[in-house]
Amino acid sequence: MSEKRKESGLGKDLVGLENVSGETIQAILDTAEPFKEISERAIKKVPVLRGKTIVNLFFEPSTRTRISFEFAEKRLGADTVNVAASGSSVVKGETLVDTARNLEAMRIDMVVIRHGSSGAAQFLADRIPSNVINGGDGQHEHPTQALLDMLTLRDSFGRIEGLKVCIVGDIVHSRVARSNIYGLQKSGAEVAVCGPRSLIPTRIEEMGVQVFTHIEDAIQWADSLNVLRLQLERMNAGFIPSLREYNRVYGVTQERLDKAPREIVVLHPGPMNRGVEIDSTVADGPQSVILSQVTNGVAVRMAVLYLLAGGAPERAEEAKKGEE
Amino acid sequence: MSRPLYIEGGRVVDPSQDIDDLAAVLVVDGRIEAVGADISKPDDAETLDATGLTISPGLIDVHVHLREPGGEHKEDIATGSKAAIAGGFTTIWAMPNTDPPIDDPAAVGYVRAAGRAVRASRVMPIGAASIGQQGEKMTEIGELVHAGAVAVSDDGHPVRNSGLMRRLLEYTQTFDIPVLQHAEDPGLTHGGVMNEGRVATELGLRGIPNAAEAAMVARDVLLSELTGGHLHVCHVSARQSVDHLRWAKDRGLAVTSEVTPHHLILTEELVRGYNTQAKVNPPLRLEEDVVAVREALVEGVIDVIATDHAPHHYDEKEREFDDAPFGINGLETAFGLCMQALVDPGYMTLSGLIDRMSCGPARIMGLPTGSLRRGAPADIVLYAPEEKWIVDPARFHSRSRNTPLAGRELTGRIQTTIVGGEIRFVAEGDA
Amino acid sequence: MTPDDTQQVLDARGVDDALVTLATEIADGGAEGLLLVGIRRRGVQLAARLAEILERTHGIETPTGSLDITLYRDDLHQIGPMPVIGMTEIPTEITGARVVIVDDVLFTGRTIRAALQELADFGRPRKIELCVLVDRGGRELPIQADYVGIKIEAGERDLVEVRVPELDGDSSVTLVSATEAK
């Protein structure tokens, strides 16, 4: 019996989409499709990762991402342990390198890491043999969020190629923005960002991204808006004067969307600040696919876990030889 | 008194006297007695065979961090000054940002005495410009100078307060010492860990813009103009800073500056992969900045090269990029990296480089060394300018190994270092 | 591969006849709660043809579903890159149903074990039966088919190739002997 088998194109880890090919992104999204169905079953569990141990290592609080990963892991039959390490390693008193060594000593199979410092996922991946999945590192990347955003876009439009997607809001501090830029561009979409210049990183144009400083212009241009959460801290740090003013200048409102030349699909990675970056009428309206994103999040994470679990290249070589 | 030292068979490169020729050097009583092709060797002299080597005045580094007191796990005065002679440096100036900072005469005296006791490189203390380097109240600068301080600086931090900077540039004139300024506007660097630009944007790291440095340089040259005080700008990294320095030179202001070896050749690209060994402040910048500071050094707008030798324990660099300390261990790679950055590609002659690493620092800081003229202290370095070698941090004499150059091939190897006529360093594996 | 080493077991006509017989046997068990579930990939096409025959010849309308057993395989950890997963579609409630699993070839029994495990995650059928076009022997588990189109003796390393029109353009069953099989 011959069997179709696809190289996932992933290495040991998923640290970011920067170094993942468009083909691989496609493979992950395709793999997510059958996983959607598992979450609809009476018994929402398959034994594919039975006996695998996964540690969810969260140095930053994140209810949403952690729960989504945990569901994904459990529905694949893995044993999971959640480690919530509050604050940075400095506060905790143990260095990340020691944490890594401890994990290695416990012979775990996979680690999902969320950390406040950019590069922390790479740091861990370079030091342990387990598969490492980046659940968000500082302001760097959050690859599974971008993948679920892309899966949701593909559900809505039937394609990603050729779409015009504008990421709106605090781009400077957003790992979601960076992963989306890489992922969407590799999948043939055009990407823009929109926000006040104080929240847009230097030289982002060099990443092939168009910059809008007026939300109205972005709405004229885009097929879809991915509206980022505006964190209160940004106001206190002086990036913007007030949330009220931010809403007046950049808030995604129904009135603004109604002026668009086409039906715009609205995404939001959550959690939302209703009345700040997005109005409730939009969030709860027909153009919003925000809840589909949450559903797709579990499927995408299942796909990533599944592919990484079998992605060891040396095993792939053996498997090929065995088939001949 | 020790026996005279007769160094023969080498090529003497001494830009202070415009010498670049095969010649012998005679040292008597710790001072240069004669340099020339036809000087004779005294009967009682010890001979040093320099065949195939180049002989120059010992290198001078006006910016190193020796970490003692308080940071002895990274470096101390002994290991730091030994690293210095291994790198060809016969004089190093030690920055005062230790724990506690060198802000009183006793501390200055301690660094001096400890440096002398090691009998490696000459160690000259820099006093803190403000008490506790807090940037508020001026230290007793006269007392510090009396105890042996050669300059004042709050390095590690900038002197942020314009009023204090003005008073420093005024008050130091009594003692004829420079104010060494780490030029950085903290309001623009807050939380920054690397150059602000495309790489920072891609890596999601907070950036330090060129303007953070250039704005401070602009302010400080204006204060030097206002006061007439000697401003020395540390580790220039931004092309815009060069414009302000050129403006100051054109007006004949008492402004000097330095650039590090790493800013003369390395760029922000080295940070990719969250390489904490390339985390340094000011940060590695763009190619256009490298070109600008290099051209400024060639032109003389930037006067000298200084390493900003900043040793750190490996544990401290082995962590998240945000949490790793700034700094590159520079003394033992400086000469080779500068040869590669400047002389190999033909931007500078060897003589030009020796000027920027030896005669220049002596000239701008008023030191008696940095020359092989008769009567000068016999601080001499012998080296093989074309020899290639691979950087192996495990072989550093420094207590720390933090360098982004591990495994890199450099040009120009230090062979022997002589301080005050005494041979204090001979490269391993050679007789 | 030469014709001498390749032995056609059933031609298109033979396959059709076998399916008609199988449909009749399934129909003998009645129509109540009947659900055909094909195992990806070729079991799905065979299930569809059985359903067609059941409706045409026996007047039994039966829903069909499909099962991808990849995630239930017991050898996933031994293979390298993960296989592509097909969709699993079970159109009706299976609790209380009489489920007939349809597959092309019954060999070690491991695929059927995985299918049984997967079906259990959808509910609790009244009865589960197994229908295969070819039983080639060589079982590694205590699993037997209720309905068998043709039984052949194939060596452990021989290859039994089932072709279906939807995927392969024609319909046949072929035995390729091990010496020549790659």
For B195, nearest residue in chain A (alpha carbons): A202
Minimum-distance CB partner of C82 among A42, A310, A324: A310
Nearest alpha carbon to residue B204 among B83, B313, B322:
B322
Are the beta carbons of B80 and B331 closer than 8 angstroms? Answer: yes
Q: Tokens for B243?
A: 């414009």
Chain B contact present for A123, CB below 8 A = yes
pLDDT score, position B349: 98
| A with C: touching (≥3 Cβ pairs within 8 Å) | yes
* A18 vs B contacts (CB less than 8 Å): 202
- What single-letter DSSP state applies at residue B420? T
pLDDT band at residue A318, thresholds of 50, 70 and 90? very low
> How far does A48 lie from chain B, in Å, by closest CA?
33
Q: Is residue B431 part of a domain?
A: no
Clarify whether residues B44 and B64 are in a common domain.
no
Q: Exposed, middle or buried: residue B53 (CB in 10 Å: 0-12, 13-18, 19+)?
A: buried
Minimum-distance CB partner of B201 among A95, A141, A204: A204
Chain A contact present for C168, CB below 8 A = no
Q: Convert the pLDDT of each residue in A114-140 to its tens digit.
A: 999 999 999 999 999 999 999 999 999
Q: Is residue B248 part of a domain?
A: yes
For A307, nearest residue in chain C (alpha carbons): C82
Length of chain A: 324
pLDDT band at residue A10, thresholds of 50, 70 and 90? confident
- A96's enclosing H/E stretch is helix A96-105
B156 vs B62: CA distance, rounded Å: 15
Q: Is residue C181 part of a domain?
A: no
- State which of B365, B392, B407 marks the end of a domain: B365
CA B413-B418-B420 angle, to 5 degrees, is: 155
Range list of β-strands (E), chain A:
53-58, 79-84, 110-115, 131-137, 164-168, 190-194, 210-212, 224-227, 265-267
Determine whether the interchain pair A5/C82 forms a contact, defined as Cβ–Cβ distance below 8 Å.
yes
Give bridge partners of residue C10 from the DSSP assignment.
Answer: C173
Q: Is residue B371 part of a domain?
A: no
> How far does C90 lie from chain A, in Å, by closest CA?
10
Are the beta carbons of A8 and A24 closer than 8 angstroms? Answer: yes
Clarify whether residues B22 and B75 are in a common domain.
no
> How far does C76 lie from chain A, in Å, by closest CA?
7
> How far does B318 lie from chain A, in Å, by closest CA?
7
Which chains border A (3 or more CB–CB pairs < 8 Å)?
Answer: B, C
Q: Convert the pLDDT of each residue in B255-284 to its tens digit.
A: 999 999 999 999 999 999 999 999 999 999
CA A210-A215-A220 angle, to 5 degrees, is: 75
Clarify whether residues B290 and B354 are in a common domain.
yes
> How far does C59 lie from chain A, in Å, by closest CA?
31
pLDDT score, position B29: 96
Clarify whether residues B153 and B237 are in a common domain.
yes
B126 vs B80: CA distance, rounded Å: 15
Q: Exposed, middle or buried: residue B46 (CB in 10 Å: 0-12, 13-18, 19+)?
A: middle
Indicate which CATH number applies to the domain containing B33. Answer: 2.30.40.10
What type of residue is A168?
Answer: V
Q: Can you give the residue range of the structural domain that contains C134?
A: 13-76+83-156
* A185 vs B contacts (CB less than 8 Å): none
pLDDT band at residue A86, thresholds of 50, 70 and 90? low
Query: Phi/psi class of residue B202: alpha, beta or left (left: φ > 0; alpha: ψ in -120 to 50)?
Result: alpha
- The residues in A 70-109 lying below 8 A from C, measured between CB atoms, are 76
- What single-letter DSSP state applies at residue B334? H
Judged against a pLDDT cut of 90, whether residue B395 lies above it is answered with yes
Judged against a pLDDT cut of 70, whether residue B337 lies above it is answered with yes
Contacts of C108 (CB under 8 A, 6+ apart): C138, C139, C140, C141
* C107 vs A contacts (CB less than 8 Å): 1
Q: State the ipTM, two decimals.
A: 0.88
A148 vs C75: CA distance, rounded Å: 29
Q: Give how far Cα C134 sits from Cα of A235, C35, C46, Å.
A: 70, 21, 12
pLDDT band at residue A316, thresholds of 50, 70 and 90? very low
Average pLDDT, chain C: 90
B237 vs B210: CA distance, rounded Å: 8
Query: Which residue out of A7, A48, A74, A324 would a mutagenesis test of the C interface target, given it has the greatest number of C Cβ atoms within 10 Å?
Result: A48
Q: How many domains does chain C have?
A: 1
Clarify whether residues B311 and B170 are in a common domain.
yes
Q: Is residue B372 part of a domain?
A: no
Are the beta carbons of B361 and B38 closer than 8 angstroms? Answer: no
Chain C contact present for A48, CB below 8 A = yes
What type of residue is B61?
Answer: D
Are the beta carbons of B141 and B130 closer than 8 angstroms? Answer: no
Clarify whether residues B359 and B385 are in a common domain.
no
Chain A contact present for C137, CB below 8 A = no
Catalytic: which of B185, B308, B355, B379? B308
Judged against a pLDDT cut of 90, whether residue B171 lies above it is answered with yes
Determine whether the interchain pair B201/A141 forms a contact, defined as Cβ–Cβ distance below 8 Å.
no
Chain A contact present for C80, CB below 8 A = yes
For A5, nearest residue in chain C (alpha carbons): C83
Indicate which CATH number applies to the domain containing B288. Answer: 3.20.20.140
Are the beta carbons of B332 and B397 closer than 8 angstroms? Answer: yes
Q: Can you give the residue range of the structural domain that contains B262?
A: 58-365
Indicate which CATH number applies to the domain containing C135. Answer: 3.40.50.2020
Chain A contact present for B198, CB below 8 A = yes
Q: How many domains does chain B have?
A: 2
pLDDT score, position A321: 40
Judged against a pLDDT cut of 50, whether residue B161 lies above it is answered with yes
* C94 vs A contacts (CB less than 8 Å): none
pLDDT score, position A314: 42
Are the beta carbons of A28 and A14 closer than 8 angstroms? Answer: no
Q: Tens of pLDDT along chain C (182 residues)?
A: 455 588 899 999 999 999 999 999 999 999 999 999 999 889 999 999 999 999 999 999 999 999 999 888 877 766 667 778 888 888 888 999 999 999 999 999 999 999 999 999 889 999 999 999 999 999 999 999 999 999 999 888 899 999 999 888 899 999 998 765 44
- Measured in degrees and rounded to the nearest 5, phi and psi for residue A194 equal -140, 130
- The residues in C 4-63 lying below 8 A from A, measured between CB atoms, are none
What is the per-residue DSSP string for A195-224?
S-GGGS-TTGGGGT-EEES-HHHHHHH-SE
> How far does A30 lie from chain C, in Å, by closest CA?
9
Q: Give how far Cα A235 sits from Cα of A170, A178, B189, B201, Å.
A: 11, 22, 18, 21
For C108, nearest residue in chain A (alpha carbons): A1
Clarify whether residues B184 and B42 are in a common domain.
no
pLDDT score, position C181: 44
Clarify whether residues B188 and B272 are in a common domain.
yes
Q: Tokens for A281?
A: 């009428």
- Measured in degrees and rounded to the nearest 5, phi and psi for residue C36 equal -95, 130
Predicted TM-score (pTM) of this structure: 0.89
Q: Average pLDDT for residues A10-34, to the nearest whole number? A: 93
Chain A contact present for C182, CB below 8 A = yes
Q: Average pLDDT for residues B116-126, to the nearest whole number? A: 97
- The residues in A 133-152 lying below 8 A from B, measured between CB atoms, are 137-141
Residue B176 annotated to the active site: no
Judged against a pLDDT cut of 60, whether residue B156 lies above it is answered with yes
- State which of B365, B390, B415 marks the end of a domain: B365
Strands B19-28 and B5-14, by their bridges, are antiparallel
| C with B: touching (≥3 Cβ pairs within 8 Å) | no
Q: Is residue B145 part of a domain?
A: yes
Q: Is residue C59 part of a domain?
A: yes
Count of CA atoms in the C-beta half-sphere (13 A) of C95 = 6
For C159, nearest residue in chain A (alpha carbons): A1
* A137 vs B contacts (CB less than 8 Å): 204
Q: Which long-range contacts does B367-370 make (Cβ < 8 Å, 24+ apart)?
A: B367/B60, B367/B91, B369/B57, B369/B58, B369/B60, B369/B90, B369/B91, B369/B122, B370/B16, B370/B57, B370/B58, B370/B60
Q: Convert the pLDDT of each residue in C36-89 to its tens digit.
A: 999 988 999 999 999 999 999 999 999 999 999 988 887 776 666 777 888 888
Q: Average pLDDT for residues B147-176, to the nearest whole number? A: 97
Determine whether the interchain pair B205/A118 forms a contact, defined as Cβ–Cβ distance below 8 Å.
yes
Clarify whether residues B227 and B161 are in a common domain.
yes
Which residue bears the tokens 């144009």?
A205
Determine whether the interchain pair C72/A46 forms a contact, defined as Cβ–Cβ distance below 8 Å.
yes
